[in-house]
Structure 1
Amino acid sequence: MQATLDLLAEGNTTIEALSIEAIAARAGVGKATIYRRWPGKAALLLDALRTLKGVVPQPTGHSVRDDLVLLVGAVGHNIDSRAAKIMPCLVPEVNRSPDHFQLYQNIIEPRRQVMREVLRRGVESGELRADLDIEVAMAMLTGPMLIQRMLHWHPELDDRILPERIVDGVLEGIRAR
């Protein structure tokens, strides 16, 4: 997995052009070693790219707001410094290839599911509007954080407090009245 991430971070190859041969050579192993652990490149890429994100944050369940701040704070945050070079390069790949789109979806869906559960809990408890469109609420919560972290869209925004500001702003519109 490390060899895969190293090759992608170097920027000399795309996901499409990345080969098991190149990964094996970088790792100093034979192709058979890789195939014993992963059935193919897609499975290896999925595992390697998941490591960039780390584990899915686990909300405490005490407060919808606090749980959303935790989850929004994790958007675009990667535990591996290579992610800053790899993730922006994935966007065109995801848009061009149905296989890469599915790979991306497999990586982020567990994170989306956790946020869905927090929002549903808020609806069920009466904290959030009964007619809340959960998917749109998730887009409103994650979009600003993602654009700030990936593109540094507004250099004066403080990433340390931005999750709270985003959540508080969105909650104003989705709270039960």
Structure 2
Amino acid sequence: MTDSPRGAARTEAIMRAALELGQEIGYARLSIEAIAARAGAGKHTIYRRWPSKGALLLDSLLSLHPTSLDYPDTGDVIRDLRTQIHAAVDLLANPPFGPLYQALIGEAQHDPEVAAALNERFITPQTELTVTRLRTAREQGQLSPAFDLDLAMAILSGPLYFQFLITQETLTHAYVDRVLDALFTGMGA
């Protein structure tokens, strides 16, 4: 079903209102009623399109702020990972994406629809890009043939999510570099 131009404009106004209010008052205080008032739309109009404020915010964030976290292929997998992960850290460091993404991950713990949409629209595509880049590097002989690509993905993302969500320390390029060094240089003597 395609939106009419008027419907598309209304959808965009609702999504922009959701992002603006999410930044202004935070996710916890965000309500469909406030979004409807800001967008000049009815609550029922919003609920017909999105089942929850989490679903609306996720759609708004990914639709109005599309991310380009593709991997370069310079022939040096570590340099390419560093470039891509630095770009991801930069994205998370700035509003609206960082704080609202953090709130959406929290909401995904309680709302299976938000969790499924977040996985389908953001996490899985980013994971596939990373694993594909690692696979290419393995095929080119830059990584051991026994290198576990899925485990490498978990090792790369785990420390970043830990710092972003648990300790809530600022993610930095220097921290990313330390994670990459630990993974690719190893932790042995």
Given the alignment of the two structures, is residue 93 of structure 1 paired with residue 103 of structure 2, yes or no?
no
Q: Is this contact kept in 2: 1:72–1:145, CA < 8 A?
A: no
How many angstroms apart in 2 are the aligned matches of 1:29 and 1:3?
10
TM superposition score normalised by structure 1: 0.73
Indicate the residue corresponding to 1:124 in structure 2: 139
| Cα RMSD after superposing both structures | 3.1
How many angstroms apart in 2 are the aligned matches of 1:91 and 1:44?
14
- Per-residue deviation, residues 107-166 of structure 1 (Å, max 9, x unmatched): 22221111111111111111112222212101111222233344344x7xx813222222
Q: Is this contact kept in 1: 2:27–2:100, CA < 8 A?
A: no
Of 107, 128, 144, which aligns to 2:159?
A: 144
SS where residue 96 of structure 1 aligns?
coil
How many angstroms apart in 1 are the aligned matches of 2:163 and 2:126?
18
How many angstroms apart in 1 are the aligned matches of 2:112 and 2:44?
27
- Per-residue deviation, residues 11-48 of structure 1 (Å, max 9, x unmatched): 36478xx43x542321224568768xx84346643331
TM superposition score normalised by structure 2: 0.69
Where relative contact order (Cα < 8 A, 6+ residues apart) is larger, the structure is 1
Indicate the residue corresponding to 2:83 in structure 1: 70
Given the alignment of the two structures, is residue 24 of structure 1 paired with residue 36 of structure 2, yes or no?
yes
Of 146, 149, 156, which aligns to 1:134?
A: 149
Worse-superposed segment, 2-11 or 106-115: 2-11
How many angstroms apart in 1 are the aligned matches of 2:175 and 2:64?
22
Q: Is this contact kept in 1: 2:138–2:144, CA < 8 A?
A: yes
Q: Is this contact kept in 2: 1:53–1:79, CA < 8 A?
A: no
Q: Is this contact kept in 1: 2:86–2:176, CA < 8 A?
A: yes
How many angstroms apart in 1 are the aligned matches of 2:95 and 2:38?
19
Q: Residue type matched to 1:167 in 2?
A: L
How many angstroms apart in 2 are the aligned matches of 1:29 and 1:111?
34
Shift of 1:89: 2.6
Shift of 1:69: 0.6
How many angstroms apart in 2 are the aligned matches of 1:133 and 1:84?
29
Structure 1 segments unaligned to the other structure (5+ residues): none
Given the alignment of the two structures, is residue 50 of structure 1 paired with residue 62 of structure 2, yes or no?
yes
Structure 2 segments unaligned to the other structure (5+ residues): 1-14
Indicate the residue corresponding to 2:8 in structure 1: none
Q: Residue type matched to 1:24 in 2?
A: A
Q: Is this contact kept in 2: 1:52–1:79, CA < 8 A?
A: no
Report % sequence identity: 30
Q: Is this contact kept in 2: 1:56–1:110, CA < 8 A?
A: no
Q: Residue type matched to 2:179 in 1?
A: I
